[in-house]
Chains A and B, each alone.
Chain A
Amino acid sequence: AQSVAQPEDQVNVAEGNPLTVKCTYSVSGNPYLFWYVQYPNRGLQFLLKYITGDNLVKGSYGFEAEFNKSQTSFHLKKPSALVSDSALYFCAVRGARDSSYKLIFGSGTRLLVRP
Chain B
Amino acid sequence: SAVISQKPSRDICQRGTSLTIQCQVDSQVTMMFWYRQQPGQSLTLIATANQGSEATYESGFVIDKFPISRPNLTFSTLTVSNMSPEDSSIYLCSVVSGRTGYEQYFGPGTRLTVT
Contacts and interface: CB of A to CB of B under 8 A. Distances in A.
Interface string A86-115: 000010000000001111011110000000
A43 B91 CA distance: 10
B80 interface: no
B48 interface: yes
B115 interface: no
A51 interface: yes
B73 interface: no
B1 interface: yes
A46 to B, nearest CB: 5
Contact of A107 (B42, B107, B109): B42
Interface of A is mostly: loop
A32 B94 CA distance: 17
Interface residues of A, number: 20
B66 interface: no
Contacts of B43: 44, 90, 103, 105
Contact of A43 (B45, B92, B96, B103): B92
Contacts of B4: 43
Interface of B: 1, 4, 31, 33, 41-45, 48, 56, 92, 94, 96, 102-109, 111
Which 6 residue pairs spanning A and B have beta carbons closest together? A44-B106, A43-B108, A43-B106, A105-B43, A105-B42, A43-B109
22 contacts: A34-B103, A43-B106, A44-B94, A44-B106, A45-B106, A46-B1, A46-B103, A49-B102, A49-B103, A51-B102, A90-B42, A100-B48, A101-B48, A101-B96, A101-B104, A102-B45, A103-B33, A103-B43, A103-B45, A103-B104, A106-B42, A107-B42
